[in-house]
Chain A
Amino acid sequence: MKKYLCTICGHIYDEDAGEEKTDIPEKTAFESLPERWTCPVCGAEKSKFRILIIPKTDAVPAHTEVKPSLLSVSEVSNLKDSVICSSLAKSCEKQFKHDEAAIYCSLAKELKEKVPHAEGASFAALQKGIEHEISSIIPTAKKVAENHHDRGALRALVWAEKVTRIHHSLLERHAAEGPALIKDKTVYVCPVCGFIFIDEHAPSKCPVCSAPDWKFEIVEA
């Protein structure tokens, strides 16, 4: 059976798997989906999907051993502190506190650079982490946010979940296609929510957070 790619957000409809979220059973051909069916991630209509042809490649070895990340407690805490700093830098920027924002940025960099480069990193390790986030970490956090009626946190979690699912399908394609995934294409990142889009032209607004396309960052080599 075939796979179809949402050209708006990168979500993949897999005929074999169907789509639990929209009550589509396994082995449902894309053609026989109801006309009103829309992308479960970004809400794009059926016509926005195109068939996904995954070129065969021998660039990627079939199954290499996945090493778990071996960060120490203090390394994790430095990385987390670095994120707090770059987040507060953004908040300072919004308040037009440019000097404070600049110091927070340097502090974020300083803390991040304390942690040595990962050894034995792999795309497969990333995918493993994502699977754990999708199956356990995110649903748990969403439940807690719902119970406490914490709308801000819930909003952040809903965006993070969508973007994480997009990472998952991109990593799946990367495992199958290798470097062809980005060859001759532009790679965009939404600076508001982290949405990644790989193609010639970015959608006019972010399908996850609605930020306009002129905000998107283009990833350079």
Chain B
Amino acid sequence: MKKFAVRNLRLCTKECLCLYVCPTGAADTENSIIDVAKCTGCGHCAEACVSKAISLIPTEFPQQQKHDENLVSAMNTLVVSKVTAEHTAAALPDRFARALQRSNRIMAEDLVRESGYMLPQSKNARKFLKGLAEAGNERAEKLLKLIKSNE
């Protein structure tokens, strides 16, 4: 599987082995962001990094897991309840209500991810964007162009 290296700037302790082991010079940049155009994905930098600051990201992802229709519908019922709660909490005062609002959104995001929207490259995600694009949404159209399908 083809990969490319990315450096986590939070973890990087700067100026060490990765620069020396990279055969293409991709790891040595002024802004510390590894040059995707030069990186071959060999992984030497990630192996050499003592701070575990480099990950190899695949350029292609496997197809996402299929979910049963009944499961998607059962999860959807809970998602609807969570977005309703988020919406109610948004109209209430104080930090406690803000926390409830945020928490309901986080749960809903996790639930939709586990019921068919794991990968931005999936057929399902594209179908979703197409629906919005057909209704004239420009952002959805832009995303369809940017993210390639893997199915």
Contacts and interface: CB of A to CB of B under 8 A. Distances in A.
Interface string B23-64: 000000000000000000000000000000000010000000
B21 interface: no
A193 B107 contact: yes
Prevailing SS type, chain B contact patch: helix
Given A96-B57, A137-B78, A153-B75, A182 B94 contact: yes
Contact of A87 (B85, B100, B117): B117
A195 B83 CA distance: 16
Contact of B70 (A133, A144, A152, A198): A144
A163 B84 CA distance: 16
A141 B75 contact: yes
B120 A152 contact: no
Prevailing SS type, chain A contact patch: helix
A62 interface: no
B68 A148 contact: yes
B109 A90 contact: yes
Contacts of A138: 78
Interface residues of B, number: 61
17 contacts: A80-B79, A83-B82, A83-B108, A91-B119, A118-B87, A119-B91, A121-B90, A148-B67, A148-B70, A152-B118, A156-B114, A160-B110, A163-B103, A163-B107, A189-B102, A192-B106, A194-B105
Interface of A: 69, 71, 76, 79-84, 86-88, 90-92, 95-97, 99-100, 103-104, 106-107, 110, 115, 117-119, 121-123, 125-126, 129-130, 132-133, 137-138, 140-141, 144-145, 148, 150, 152-153, 155-157, 159-160, 163-164, 167, 170, 174, 179, 181-182, 187, 189-196, 198, 217, 219-221
